[in-house]
Amino acid sequence: MPVAIILKGYPRLSETFIAQEILALERRGLDVRIVSLRHPTDPATHPVHKEIRAPVTYLPEYLYQEPWRVLRAVWSACRSVGFRAAWKAWMRDLVRDPTPNRVRRFGQACVLSTELGADVDWFHAHYLHTPSSVTRYAALMTGRDWSVSAHAKDIWIIPDWEIEEKLACMAWLVTCTHYGAKRLRALARDESKIQLAYHGLDLARFPPPPARLSVRDGGSPDDPVVITSVGRAVAKKGYDDLLSALALLPDSLHWRFRHIGGGDLLAQLKRQAAELGIADRIDWLGPQPQSRVLEILREADIFALTCKVAPDGDRDGLPNVLMEAQSQRVPVLATTVAAIPELVQDGQTGLLVEPGNVAQIAAALTRFAREPETRQRIGLAGETRVRSTFAFDTCIETIADRFELSKETLAA
């Protein structure tokens, strides 16, 4: 059946997990139409984006930018049989959330409901916040069924009333962690609507690394231990804590930190590094395509991601970059926040510390840096677990079953 997949932005470097899911569903025979609320802002794309065949429609990012398109859509939508129900739902939401964002979502829903082909049978939104709002209003207008993939931030930053009402009127929802599923089930009238579906890692894009035995122990200034991280510079990633921990490492320990990613806090983090006196040991590499990320991971001795709950309640689910690092036999240091312990087993497949505990982060980094044998043991165990338990080909089955797709894949 033709399905419109509604995204906040497309393509995005930070959402490889969404792109790999779309591609897999296409190869199972799903007729996909991508709808994006925003135009792309990243300077590059991943190879997976080029393999996706689905046409892409961009809704008006801001209504005032395309006024005639929006007015035509509202005029057409208001004559639909479901417009009254959509209007009532939107007005209830607007009273509780009187923001320009809420107005924009209704306008985008009108465009979606009137411009998308009549042959589209189903709406599927990625993220439970704004993409689901647009999807819900459009589904009410057109009488279509709809579903959601919920991930991380979207589960935690919107109010309970909004989650409850969306869950009540959608057909089903999949989410990528036990941690997130527990919260959603507590708010659902019908828990059977909610299923766990880990993102998983596309192992074809992350093949086993070449044999490499790193014996660096931080003792030589000419051959420092390489610590790497991949993630957006936002509060929930905890990079301020990681920088503070790096500044606590012993003077006798020689290290270099490499960061991949963009983000609003990047300039602030660079200032913090300068104030801590460690700026000359850090390479800020910016956003990178997946092929380059793979190369950099294979050069790393340690992968560190010190996530925490942000002041506004935002938090990660289960960051895919941890799986990517483990797939390359890189030992990971992470925190116990959110669903990370569902992947990383402390002392076995990685090291876990309390979120925000700078002293613990520094101690764990020191241990990994000084003990190449520990890195080798934990890195191998992490790779084994990812390849046996978190393979994408297995994880996609839950979503494929929801769309009643065959297990036989189509030719790429």
User: What is the average per-residue pLDDT within 219-244?
Assistant: 97
Residue pLDDT, tens place only, 178-192: 999 999 999 999 999
SS3 125: strand
Q: What's domain 2-197+396-402's architecture?
A: 3-Layer(aba) Sandwich (3.40)
226 strand-pairing partners: 256
DSSP 74-113: HHHHTTSTTHHHHHHHHHHHHHHS-SHHHHHHHHHHHHHH
- Residue (of 180, 115, 171, 175) closest to 146 by Cα position: 171
Average pLDDT score, the chain: 95
User: What is the average per-residue pLDDT within 352-371?
Assistant: 98
DSSP state of 281: G
Residue pLDDT, tens place only, 125-166: 999 999 999 999 999 999 999 999 999 889 999 999 999 999
Domain ranges of the chain: 2-197+396-402, 225-389
pLDDT surpassing 70 at residue 407: no
Can 2-197+396-402 and 225-389 be said to share one CATH topology? yes
Domain 225-389 has CATH 3.40.50.2000: yes
Residue pLDDT, tens place only, 100-114: 999 999 999 999 999
Omega prior to 11 cis, within 30 of 0: yes
Both structure tokens of 335: 């925190």
Both structure tokens of 232: 């957006």
What's the confidence (pLDDT) of residue 411? 42
Quote the pTM value: 0.87
What is d(CA 341, CA 347) in angstroms, rounded to the nearest whole number?
11
